Every structure is written in structure tokens, then in C-alpha cells.
Amino acid sequence: MRLPQIRLHSTSGQIQIKTVNSQLAIEQPKAELNIQQPKAELDIERTASKLTIDQTKAREDMDLKNISRRIEEAAEQGYQDWLAGLARVAQDGDELMMIENGGHPLASQAKRNSEPTNLEFNIGWIPSAGSVKIEYEPTKLDINWRVNKPIIETQVNKPIFSSTPGLVEISLKQYPALKIDFEM
């Protein structure tokens, strides 16, 4: 005996999942930086040095005198010679006035006036020691400076975000099926 048979043939359903990944892009623009360095300020004040050499005394020692100095010395020498002559004439007059005291005043005066005077001579072209006077005033230097701080300006730029959201698509790749056959 044959019994009827039922044949079942089934196909499973399949799910298909399609994904698109999300994307995130981050861009960071560079910061803007501006730096300025002002120059330092420098002031220098200088007073010139001064050298003074006075060789007037050395030139006088070498008999290289200024005309006004020569005139002044000649006037002084003339005055001193006049005073000496006046004293000599007064002394001669006093001797002659006291002739009664004895002696020979006329003969002694004649002898004194006829004798040559001793002249002193020295080397005239060598100046005395220390006759040149030197004065020196050194340079004065004042330095003033001012340092200027740098000027720094910064601007921070925010990051730029761009994103694409992810996507998930679910669909049936294969539908489920059931096939039924009868055989007798």
C-alpha cells in the first residue's frame, strides 16, 4: 500500500544588511599669529674730552715771550733800575754830604762806577722742570636705553567639523518560501 506523501520544501528567508559608515572630518585652521618687535631706543650723549697744554712758562724760560709780557717785564725792570739808581744816587749824596768824616768819597765812587758788573749767563734754551702745565678732562659718556616689549596678537580659529551620518539599510535578500507537493 502506498500512502500519499506530502513533500514540503522550504526556503529560509535571508536578511540583507547594507551599511554606509559614518564619516567625520575635522579640519583645524592654523592660528593667526602677528608678532611685532619694536626697536629698542638707545640714546648716547657724549661730552668731548678736553686737553689743555699751557707752555707759557716754558716759552718764557726759553726767552720766547709774548710781546705784552716783554713790555710788562721791561717796565718792571725799568722801575727796579730806577729805584736802584735812585738809591745809589742818594747813597752817593749821603757820602758826599759826610765828607768831613774823612775818607775819599769821590775816589771810591769813581772806582765803584767804573768797575764792570758781573753778568750771569745760563743756558737759555732749556725750560725749567714742570714749566709745561697739562690738564686733561676725560670724555663723559651717558648711555640711556629703553627696551620695547614685543607686540603679540593671536587669533585662534575654531576647528571645522563636517560629518556624514552613517546609514543602515535592511532588506530581504531572499524571501522565505514553502513549496508543498503531493505524491500519490
Adjacent-strand bridge partners of 53? 134
* pLDDT tens series, the chain, 184 aa: 677 888 888 888 889 999 999 999 999 999 999 999 999 999 999 999 999 999 888 888 787 888 888 899 899 999 999 999 999 899 888 888 888 887 788 888 888 888 887 777 666 677 888 888 999 999 999 999 999 999 999 999 999 999 998 899 998 888 888 888 887 7
The answer as to whether 29 is a domain residue is yes
The answer as to whether 177 is a domain residue is yes
The answer as to whether 63 is a domain residue is no
How many Cβ atoms are within 10 Å of 56's Cβ, its own excluded?
14
pLDDT at 1: 63
As for how many domains the chain has, the answer is 1
> If we measure between CA atoms, which residue out of 107, 103, 124, 123 comes closest to residue 115?
107
pLDDT at 172: 87
Is-contact 36 149, C-beta < 8 A? no
pLDDT at 6: 84
pLDDT at 154: 93
The answer as to whether 176 is a domain residue is yes
Adjacent-strand bridge partners of 152? 35
pLDDT at 106: 83
The answer as to whether 9 is a domain residue is yes
The answer as to whether 90 is a domain residue is no
The answer as to whether 28 is a domain residue is yes
The answer as to whether 134 is a domain residue is no
Which range marks the domain in which residue 182 is found?
1-35+151-184
pLDDT at 26: 93
Please tell me the pTM assigned to this model.
0.40
